[in-house]
Amino acid sequence: MPIIACGINHRTAPVALREKAMFAQDKLALYLHDLMVNESISEAVLLSTCNRSELYCDYDDPDKLVDWFCRQHQLSREELEPAMYIYHQQEAVQHIMRVACGLDSMVLGESQILGQMKEAFSESCAAGTVGTLFNRLFQHVFGVAKDIRHSTAIGACPVSVSSAAVNFLKQTVGDAIQEASVLLLGAGMTMELVLRHLLPHRPKQVAIVNRSLNQAEELAKKYHCPAVQFAQLSQALSDADILLTATGSTLPIVTQSMLCHRRKPVFIIDIAVPRDVEPEAAELPQVNLYSIDDLKAMIQQNKRGREHAADKAEEVIKQRSADYMHWLTSLDLVATTIRAYRNQIETLCDAELAKSLRQLHRGDDPVQVLTSFAYALTKKLLHAPSVQLRQAGSEGRLEILHLAQKLFAIPELTPDA
């Protein structure tokens, strides 16, 4: 049962490539169905976030998976393959565990990825691409993530992309933030986290704009700031000194043309993937545009102090991934043993049956033939186990005798019985 984990992430691919290789959340079932039909994959889970697009599956031809990635996103191998990584068996299991625990995140120890992985697993279950192998694997992974979260300090004082964006903003503009009008584009969890970190810096004004006005109003009411209708985005942009954006749009929302008539400078931090702001907007002299990848240096600085916890987590993952592979190997061994034993029994039965049929064809008494058949087959079935049990008894290996009682469902016997 080969296990493969493959994909791209923030370590191997810039945001310009990651946004091209994202799997749309509302189409995960279609991607998974394509894997089952065209690639003959029976179990698979797809995970796609702003920092990674990964496929976990049971497959023995990773080269074809690269082609599949390219087809889904209309990318060439030359563009995608250098950024792709492929892990096999225990390395794949370890990678999945590291992702779930936040050890492979841009923000070390962040917890949001675990929820995203659980959602991806749920979507894959609904699509029918999770069986015994991956159900056991991901339950094991979620258990490991929970244990590490409680037994190490990996999640202590976590830094998030949202907090890093606000810290980056504060470092860049300084106290000018208190005189700035800030526009927030988006109203999801990421933007709520931005708000939590932004408001203590006391900006002059904060407004929220979102495609769904109800969602924007709900978030705005919670944090006592105004909501803006999406149709008024252009006007809101012209009034803003700072723009922070994080939506789930697959296409840019803020274009170069929407900013080209500005006279005063605007500071933009776009932490969405795919990006919400056209990269060409950075060509305008009055626009200071930063993406999620520009926050990496700050996030790296905040990792200090958690390396020891990360090392402890890596040790746990190494052991728990080995435990899973041991279970997987034993599963294969059990299945192989059962098949071999079944074939052995069927061979004995076929031999005795052929003998009995010959006796019936020559006119022997059917009752005598059936009686002989049952006796001979029973004797042959019992021969090998009886020899092994007698040998185990003579060697004092009582554990084999107890195991045989369980294996053959024999009631526990006393020596006098």
- For residue range 59-103, list pLDDT tens digits in order: 888 889 999 999 999 999 999 999 999 999 999 999 999 999 999
Q: Tell me the C-alpha to C-alpha distance, in Å, between residue 392 and each of 388, 397, 402, 413.
A: 6, 5, 11, 16
| pLDDT given for residue 417 in this prediction | 47
Among 169, 159, 211, residue whose Cα is nearest residue 188: 211
Is residue 94 within 8 Å of 321, Cβ to Cβ? yes
Read off the pTM: 0.74
Domains of the chain (ranges; CATH) run 4-158 (3.30.460.30), 161-296 (3.40.50.720), 330-407 (no CATH)
Scanning 223-294, the segments in alpha helix (DSSP H) are 233-239, 256-259
How far apart are the C-alpha atoms of 270 and 293, rounded to whole Å?
10
What is each CA distance from 11 to 26, 33, 162, 290, 352, in whole angstroms?
A: 26, 29, 19, 18, 65
Residue 305, pLDDT score:
60
In this predicted structure, what is the pLDDT of residue 327?
84
Is 349 part of the annotated catalytic residue set?
no
CA distance 119 to 28: 11
Residues whose CB is less than 8 angstroms from the CB of residue 278 and which lie 6 or more positions away in sequence, other chains included:
252, 254, 255, 256
Positions in the chain short of pLDDT 50: 417
What's residue 157's pLDDT?
Answer: 59
- Residue 394: per-residue pLDDT: 83
State how far the Cα of 108 lies from the Cα of 127, in Å rounded to an integer.
31
- How far, in Å, CA of 275 to CA of 285, rounded? 20
pLDDT at 389: 83
What the block records as the tokens of 122 is 């749920």
| pLDDT given at position 164 | 86
Q: Which of 6, 50, 57, 225 is catalytic?
A: 50
The secondary structure of residue 128, as a DSSP letter, is T
The pLDDT tens digits for 103-139 are 998 888 888 899 999 999 999 999 999 998 899 999 9
